[in-house]
Every structure is written in structure tokens, then in C-alpha cells.
């Protein structure tokens, strides 16, 4: 591609409303343009990167035996009523009406459509197992779209759905997809990690997420020092306390904490370690007001909390409810002597504490020397309801937990019969008996991968594309071509040869563009290789080659250069 015939639209200034590096660089490089909140156009440059990701995903899905199809993005309400997700999916579902007032949604995912397709197409166990996939635009009306295409409302997704007669078969395909995903992210040149995950709104039994590792990632993932187990922090289990609860040594007393509301402030005032304080988190569940207790140095894990019987879809308590049940405003609340009956859920670490500090349910006061059984009843529920922290022991002798940040780019689920059951997707087995199919589903955020790759690979000058995603493999930069017929001809010849070798080549044939601007553009848009053609080099029979990751030029003989650089790029 010649830049003179391409739409290269780089800018020097960082757009004001871009707050992560990938979004800044994609805008500066001219890869994407915002149309509305969370809705982007892909420019010719950006689309080249997107298509490369898409091509690798498609190749590996095909290699793994999945069949590509394409389903509609607009889906009728009736289908979503069958699984009760028209209501359950909530505000993320973009609902639209046609001219006859018929109700539709823009597909955020395709379990309903594919299950409908499968129940119509699949009649016999002989047609199973089968795995259908598509690469298609999805729309999720995110509460808060941000970070450019990393968390957009409209995005490109590869979604696959497999159908099976039994669980074992489903699990084999799950493993097959897990392996295909591993190949995909490896080929894309990304540092990634598969982690055990919560199933969320999609549902089902088993699930893994694939995360691109990057410090700017929105997700925390936990992995053990022994045994190679990794999980989303939402799921990572905290080991039960090793030692039993000590006997009380202090008596219960009120202490004045006039302005100290947080555990940190209270611990500092009392000269106690943060781990001696207890945080009280007020929620309202199906069975009323609940106080959740975790240690002052821990964080409540709301996903774990949701799984506790009787809580269901809990919500944070309002300030009025807190005052009503405990007699105090937030900041000084605790489980001792509530005004009204409440239930108490204690994290396992809290249940094993003695002589701890809690809010006194009185503004300006906390209680210290608090002990279970003596000063308040034993907790109603003791469970693991907190996030694990860096360095703490992992369960089952798996060493210690470490925490890293990741960007979720893939997710595989064993759905079981959830959708097939709700929608009556059955086939006849070898005995002529109707059996409900088992399903798996497997997603990859194609557009998100482009952003994630940048988060993981950039420097002060711009993007550094992994070879597999780069919109162009190599840039040819002629210096002084406006004055030198020789340079112009040599660059044209090199461009033709590299193109003939099957590479995606960008030739900077713009008139009157000075060298500094050429270099800056090539580095910003992240072309992994560049070759400078100038009078200096031609006199010496050399090109100046530079890898995007290198700090200096290498002089390469013109003779044999195309072969050499083609091998560099292909390896």
C-alpha cells in the first residue's frame, strides 16, 4: 500500500477524553473514530488489524472442527421470553420496535437464536456433536462504556455454540475449544492466562476466562505458587484460617473515635494492626437486612456473597435502612447490639478472631475487645466472602496466592441443558427416545483483542504490533525521494519485491514529508519492521533496517535483503 493512496490520519495531540493508552494510541494512529458513546468506526488502518485477528480466530476455529454460520443481529422478543432473559438480561439489552410495534432486541449474545436453529435443524444423535460459530457485531448497552473499543457497546465477537448428547461429549468439546483458544492467543503473540471463572449471566456449570495480562486490565486474576491453578479473583477461594479462634483476653469497651470512620483510621488511632478490625457491610437480600463482616484488611467479594442462600440478588442497604436496623449512620456500624434483629454473615477469617474492633452503632464510637459468644451471638453464617490477597495461603497446600491484572478476551462455558431445556431442543437417541441436548458456548472479543494487544505492547513512540496483528508487516521509507530519482526508483523496486514476497508493505511515497515525520508515523502506527532507502545507504550498497523494538539501525546488504527480512517476519 502506498500512503499517497491510503487514508493515513495520524495526529500528534492526545485526544482529551481518552484515558487508557490503547484508546489514546488507536485515536492518534487514526485506527478508530468515535460516533457515539461506546460506538466506533474502524478506519482502513484499524480494520486491517481487526481483520488479522479475525482471520486467525477463523482459521483456528475451522481447524478445531467448528462450522461458521451467520445469524441475525436483530432478534425477536418471543425467543428471549422462552428463556426468561427478556427481563433478566436487564438494561444491557437494547430493545427496539419495528413499524408494527413488534418488539426486538439487538443481539448481545446468541444462545436463544442458535438453540432455536438447533432445535429445528438437529433431529438425530447422528448429527451430534456439532459446533457452530459466527464472527459478528454484538450490542450491549453497557451502563458505562469506556476505554474505547476495550469496553464498547457495539463490538465484534466470535461466538461458538456446541451441541451434544451427553455431558462427557460436551466436556470433550470444551477441552477442544480450550485448546483452540490457547492456539489462537499464542498465534496472536499475546501474553495470556486461562483462569477458572464465574459463569455470570450466561449460566452453566464450568467456565474459564482467557485474560491478556496487562497492568491496566480491569480484572484481577489470582494464581497459586504451586500446582499452576489460576482463577478470577471473583472465584478464588481463600483458605480457611489455620488456627482456631483464640480465647478472649480483653473486656468489651467503648472507645471514642470522633472522626474515625474507616477501619484504617480506627486502627491507627488505637495503635492496632488493621487485621484486628472488622469491616461491616450492610446489604438487603431476599430475607431482609444482613450485616456482612470481613477483616479490616480484606475486601468483600460480592460474587461469593451472591451465592449464599437467602441473599440472592442482594443490594446495598440504604442509609435509612442502616439507621433503622442499627441505630447509627455508616462509619460507626457493627454487629453488636443492633436496634432490630439482623442476620450476620461472617467471613471465615472473622469467625476465627478474638478481641476485635467493630463500630459501636453510635456516632463517634467503636467497640474493642469484642468476642463471639460473649458479646454477641455466633454468626448466622460463616463463609468465604472476601477477595484473596497477594501472598496469603491458597487452599489445599497449593502454596500462596499471587494477584495479576488482566483483560478478558475469551470465555468458554459448559452450559449443560440450561437453554436446550428451556427451549425444548431435543434429538432422538439410538433407541428412538427424545433427549435434551447438552451445550457449550465459547466467546472471543475480537475487537477487544486489538486494544488489549496495544495495552500489552507499546512504548513512548506508539504501538508495537505483534507480527500477527500488524496492519502492515514492514514500512519502506525513502529519504529525499523528491530530489533523488535513484532513491525513488530503488524504493519502488524494493516495495515491489517485498510485496511479491507476500508481505503487507507500506510505502511512504508522500511528497514533501520530511524524515522525522515519516519515522514518527511509522512508530506511532506500530509497523514492526522498517527499511530506510537513502542516498547514503545506496552508495554503500545497503539498506538501513530497524525492528520496531530495537533502538538502533542495522545496515543490511541490498543483495539478499528481501529474503532475509521475509524470514525475519515469518519466524
Partner RNA sequence: CGGGGUAUAGCGCAGUCUGGUAGCGCGCCAGCUUUGGGAGCUGGAUGUCGUGGGUUCGAAUCCCCCUACCCCGACCA
Contact residues: RNA, CB under 7 A: 10-13, 15-17, 19, 28, 34, 36-38, 92, 109, 140, 142-147, 151-153, 155, 157, 200-202, 209, 218-219, 302-303, 408-411, 443-445, 447-448, 461, 479-480, 482-483, 512, 514-517, 519-521, 523-524, 532, 534-537, 544, 546, 553
Which residues are paired to 68 by β-bridges?
133
**What's the closest the beta carbon of residue 289 comes to RNA, in angstroms?**
18
Burial class (CB in 10 A: 0-12, 13-18, 19+), 413: buried
Residue 24: name the closest of 216, 32, 217, 50 by CA: 32
Residue 56, classified by CB atoms within 10 Å of its CB into exposed (0-12), middle (13-18) or buried (19+), is buried
Smallest separation (angstroms) from RNA to the CB of 10 = 5
Pairing of strands 67-68, 130-139: parallel
d(CA 10, CA 510): 14
Torsion angle (degrees, nearest 10) of CA 216, 220, 223, 229:
-120
Handedness of CA 172, 173, 178, 179 (dihedral sign): positive
The C-alpha cell that represents 108 in the structure block: 448481545
Best CA proximity match to 464, nearest among 408, 570, 553, 547: 547
Distances (CA, A) of 44 to 5, 30, 66, 487: 11, 9, 29, 28
User: Is 553 strand, coil or helix?
Assistant: coil
Tell me the C-alpha distance between 279 and 299, whole Å: 9
Task: State how far the alpha carbon of 414 is from the alpha carbons of 45, 64, 279, 399, in Å.
Answer: 37, 17, 36, 28
The residue (of 74 and 540) whose beta carbon lies closer to RNA is 540
Query: Which residues partner with 376 through β-bridges?
Result: 372
Give backbone dihedrals phi and psi of 472, rounded to 5 degrees, phi first.
Answer: -135, 145
Name the β-bridge partners of 546. 530
Between CA 18 and CA 26 the distance in angstroms is 10
Among residues 358, 429, 383, 536, which one has the least CA distance to residue 123?
A: 429
195 contact partners, CB below 8 Å, separation of at least 6: 208, 209, 210, 211, 221, 222, 223, 230, 231, 232, 406
Q: Give whole-number Cα distances, 140 to 156, 193, 443, in Å.
A: 11, 25, 14
d(CA 118, CA 172): 20
Cα–Cα distance, 286 to 381 (Å, whole number): 15
Strands (E), 140-257: 154-164, 192-196, 206-213, 219-224, 230-232, 253-256
Element (H, E) at 409: strand 401-416
Q: Is 72 helix (H, G, I), strand (E, B) or coil?
A: coil
**33, 203, 235, 185: which is closest to 109 by C-alpha?**
203
Amino acid at each position: 500500500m502506498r500512503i499517497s493512496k491510503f487514508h493515513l490520519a495520524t495526529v500528534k495531540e492526545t485526544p482529551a477524553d481518552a484515558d487508557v493508552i490503547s484508546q489514546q494510541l488507536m485515536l492518534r494512529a487514526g485506527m478508530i473514530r468515535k460516533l457515539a458513546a461506546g460506538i466506533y468506526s474502524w478506519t482502513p488502518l484499524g480494520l486491517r488489524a481487526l481483520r488479522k485477528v479475525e482471520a486467525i480466530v477463523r482459521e483456528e476455529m475451522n481447524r478445531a472442527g467448528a462450522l461458521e454460520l451467520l445469524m441475525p443481529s436483530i432478534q425477536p422478543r418471543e425467543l428471549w421470553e422462552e428463556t426468561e432473559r427478556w427481563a433478566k438480561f436487564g438494561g444491557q439489552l437494547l430493545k427496539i420496535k419495528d413499524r408494527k410495534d413488534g418488539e426486538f432486541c439487538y443481539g448481545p449474545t446468541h444462545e436463544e437464536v442458535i438453540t432455536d436453529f438447533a432445535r429445528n435443524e438437529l433431529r438425530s444423535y447422528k448429527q451430534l456433536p456439532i459446533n457452530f460459530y459466527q464472527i459478528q457485531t454484538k450490542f450491549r448497552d453497557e451502563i458505562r462504556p469506556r476505554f474505547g473499543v476495550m469496553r464498547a457497546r457495539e463490538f465484534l465477537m466470535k461466538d461458538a455454540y456446541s451441541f451434544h448428547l451427553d455431558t462427557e461429549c460436551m466436556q470433550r468439546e470444551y477441552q477442544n475449544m480450550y485448546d483452540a483458544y490457547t492456539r489462537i492467543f499464542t498465534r496472536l503473540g499475546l501474553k495470556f492466562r486461562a483462569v477458572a471463572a464465574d459463569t455470570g449471566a450466561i449460566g452453566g456449570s464450568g467456565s474459564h476466562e482467557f485474560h491478556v495480562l496487562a497492568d491496566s486490565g480491569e480484572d484481577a486474576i489470582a494464581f497459586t505458587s504451586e500446582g499452576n491453578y489460576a482463577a478470577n479473583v471473583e472465584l478464588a477461594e481463600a483458605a480457611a484460617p489455620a488456627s482456631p479462634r483464640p480465647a478472649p483476653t480483653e473486656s468489651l469497651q467503648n472507645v471514642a473515635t470522633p472522626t474515625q470512620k474507616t477501619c484504617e483510621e480506627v486502627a491507627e488511632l488505637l495503635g492496632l494492626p488493621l487485621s484486628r478490625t472488622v469491616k461491616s457491610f450492610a446489604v438487603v437480600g431476599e430475607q431482609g437486612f444482613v450485616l456482612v463482616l470481613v477483616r479490616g484488611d480484606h475486601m468483600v467479594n460480592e460474587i461469593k456473597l451472591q451465592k449464599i442462600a437467602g441473599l440472592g440478588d442482594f443490594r446495598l442497604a440504604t442509609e435509612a435502612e442502616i439507621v433503622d436496623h442499627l441505630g447509627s449512620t455508616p462509619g460507626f456500624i457493627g454487629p453488636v447490639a443492633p436496634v432490630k434483629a439482623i442476620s450476620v454473615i461472617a467471613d471465615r477469617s472473622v469467625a476465627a478472631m478474638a478481641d476485635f474492633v467493630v463500630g459501636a452503632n453510635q456516632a463517634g464510637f467503636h467497640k474493642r475487645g469484642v468476642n463471639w459468644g460473649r458479646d454477641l451471638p455466633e454468626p448466622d453464617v460463616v463463609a468465604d466472602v472476601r477477595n484473596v490477597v497477594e501472598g496469603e495461603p491458597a487452599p489445599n497446600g497449593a502454596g500462596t496466592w499471587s494477584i495479576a491484572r488482566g483483560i478478558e478476551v475469551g470465555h468458554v462455558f459448559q452450559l449443560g441443558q440450561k437453554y436446550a431445556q428451556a427451549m425444548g431442543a431435543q434429538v432422538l437417541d439410538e433407541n428412538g427416545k427424545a433427549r435434551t441436548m447438552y451445550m457449550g458456548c465459547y466467546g472471543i472479543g475480537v475487537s477487544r483483542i486489538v486494544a488489549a494487544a496495544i495495552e500489552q505492547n507499546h512504548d513512548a513512540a506508539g504501538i508495537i504490533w505483534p507480527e500477527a496483528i500488524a496492519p502492515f508487516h514492514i514500512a519502506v521509507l525513502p529519504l529525499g525521494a523528491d530530489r533523488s530519482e535513484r532513491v525513488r526508483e530503488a524504493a519502488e523496486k524494493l516495495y515491489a519485491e517485498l510485496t511479491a514476497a507476500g508481505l503487507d508493505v507500506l510505502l511512504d511515497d508522500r511528497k514533501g514529508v520530511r524524515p522525522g515525520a515519516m519515522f514518527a508515523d511509522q512508530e506511532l502506527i506500530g509497523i514492526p519492521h522498517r527499511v530506510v532507502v537513502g542516498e547514503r545507504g545506496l552508495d554503500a550498497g545497503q539498506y538501513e533496517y530497524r525492528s520496531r523494538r530495537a533502538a538502533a539501525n542495522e545496515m543490511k546488504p541490498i543483495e539478499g535483503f528481501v529474503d532475509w527480512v521475509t524470514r525475519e517476519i515469518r519466524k
